[in-house]
Amino acid sequence: MADNNDEIQVVPGTKQFENMIFKLNHAVTPDNLGVLNYNGNQLAAVQDGLYAMPAYVTDKFNLFFIVSQLVENDWVIAFSNATIENGNEITDLSEPMTTGKGLNILGQQSPDDANHLLKYFNTLAQANRGEWRMVERPDDDNGKSKK
């Protein structure tokens, strides 16, 4: 995250962290897919402008990177859960979730793997490949309900 005195510190594992998205600084193209490799895996095109890659897969829980222009014109890394049949066939992906929400969910399953993933994102940020951003979610009124 940028060094800014007005910046709010958002800690992984908190409800606020679920509103964090990792925005890439450049569009994803077939020529630069390799810079986003994680844990020996590479992004694969799911459809035009949408890429996926496993982040964490066990028999009971999985989390996949989803990379696309999901927020306005910005390329972002979000997460999705997959339906896996016959041991290795991905037949469906859930609706994308924010990067922070995916990390929080993974943290409940495997804190070590969540920390490893967080380091991956921090390495991308240090290499100027992307940055953390807070997104406003329509279903989140920050507790300011107008009843």
Task: Name 112's Cβ contacts closer than 8 Å, sequence gap at least 6.
Answer: none
Confidence class of residue 137 from pLDDT cuts 50, 70 and 90? low
- Decide: 103 and 117 in contact? Cβ < 8 Å: yes
Question: 68-89: per-residue pLDDT in tens?
Answer: 998 778 999 999 999 988 877 8
Does residue 147 register a pLDDT over 70?
no
Give the per-residue pLDDT at 8: 57
- Burial class for 47, CB neighbours closer than 10 Å (0-12, 13-18, 19+): exposed
- The mean pLDDT value of the chain amounts to 87
Could you tell me the CA-to-CA distances from 146 to 19, 58, 142, 143 in Å, in that order? 21, 42, 11, 9
Lowest mean pLDDT among 7-16, 66-75, 92-101, 112-121: 7-16
